[in-house]
């Protein structure tokens, strides 16, 4: 079943507590970084890329922060915040090289809160560079299948589906699922050169609701 998508009300998002703006430079962003296993590994393996790792749960964020302080990657910035308002207030149009959403909550009782079913996903696409990627991983085949359908029917975005190798160890969840013998898959979603959204001209605004510069853009 195709989930209907409303327009995201970005102007209603207020900046997170203790919010600090970032520079408009190319970055990668991990949403729901947990204790930071993937973020720490990625930043170590890609010293030429800057990664912002967002985690909402305080306990997990503090664990990531402690490990980061121990390892000291200068290209990693852990952020303690809810991802939606932080993305709206912090990120510039077409700024992000890669988004990582690894093993998100499948929201079994609230399908509208799954990433590709949310109106917010259109805003997320607007922050992605042309030819940039979103990596979405899950151990739930139905979650991946639904996301594929949304990509085909709603978002009209090209993607590649991959089976994650049994020895992969990017996150604590991934290790646990693969040790159980579960099928872990990911979608590598690409933003085409001339893809447009209704939020392509929206700039971040600190400390207040944001405003759109154009209300008439559309998704091609």
Whether residue 128 lies inside any domain: the answer is yes
- For residue 106, give the 3-state DSSP assignment: coil
pLDDT at 209 over 60: no
**Looking up tokens 């359908």, which residue turns up?**
149
Instruction: Give 6's pLDDT tier (boundaries 50, 70, 90).
Output: confident
Number of folded domains that form the chain: 1
Whether residue 54 lies inside any domain: the answer is no
Q: Which helix (H) or strand (E) holds 130?
A: strand 128-138
Which residues are within 8 A (CB) of 193 and not within 5 positions of it... i.e. 6 or more apart?
Answer: 130, 131
**pLDDT, tens digit (0-9, with 9 covering 90-100), for 29-47:** 999 999 999 999 999 999 9
Question: Any idea what DSSP says for residue 49?
Answer: S
Whether residue 137 lies inside any domain: the answer is yes
Whether residue 207 lies inside any domain: the answer is no
pLDDT at 218 over 50: no
CATH code, domain with 113: 3.40.50.150
Whether residue 46 lies inside any domain: the answer is no
| Residue 5 confidence (pLDDT) | 64
Average of per-residue pLDDT values in the chain: 90
- For residue 110, give the 3-state DSSP assignment: coil
pLDDT at 13 over 80: no
Whether residue 210 lies inside any domain: the answer is no
**Looking up tokens 């915040």, which residue turns up?**
81
Instruction: Give 77's pLDDT tier (boundaries 50, 70, 90).
Output: very high
- Residue 150 belongs to what domain range? 82-190
- Top pLDDT among 204 and 219 is at 204
**Cβ atoms of residues 85 and 13 within 8 Å:** yes
Whether residue 117 lies inside any domain: the answer is yes
| Residue 82 confidence (pLDDT) | 93
Q: How far apart are CA 86 and CA 19, in angstroms?
A: 8
**pLDDT, tens digit (0-9, with 9 covering 90-100), for 97-134:** 999 999 999 999 999 999 999 999 999 999 999 999 99
Whether residue 199 lies inside any domain: the answer is no
């Amino acid at each position: 079943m195709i989930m209907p998508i409303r327009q995201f009300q970005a102007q209603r998002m207020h900046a997170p507590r203790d919010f600090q703006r970032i520079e408009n430079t190319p970055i990668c962003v991990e949403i729901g970084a947990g204790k930071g296993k993937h973020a720490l590994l990625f930043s170590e393996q890609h010293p030429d890329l800057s990664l912002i790792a967002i985690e909402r749960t305080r306990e997990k964020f503090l664990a990531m922060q402690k490990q980061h302080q121990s390892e000291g990657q200068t290209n990693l910035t852990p952020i303690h915040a809810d991802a939606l308002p932080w993305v709206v207030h912090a990120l510039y149009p077409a700024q992000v090289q890669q988004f990582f959403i690894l093993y998100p909550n499948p929201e079994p009782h609230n399908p509208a809160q799954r990433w590709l079913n949310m109106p917010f996903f259109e805003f997320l696409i607007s922050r992605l560079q042309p030819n940039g990627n979103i990596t979405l991983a899950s151990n739930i085949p139905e979650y991946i299948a639904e996301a594929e359908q949304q990509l085909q029917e709603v978002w009209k975005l090209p993607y590649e589906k991959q089976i994650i190798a049994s020895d992969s160890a990017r996150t604590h969840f991934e290790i646990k699922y693969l040790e159980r013998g579960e099928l872990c898959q990911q979608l590598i979603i690409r933003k085409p050169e001339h893809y447009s959204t209704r939020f392509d001209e929206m700039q971040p605004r600190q400390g207040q609701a944001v405003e759109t510069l154009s209300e008439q853009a559309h998704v091609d």
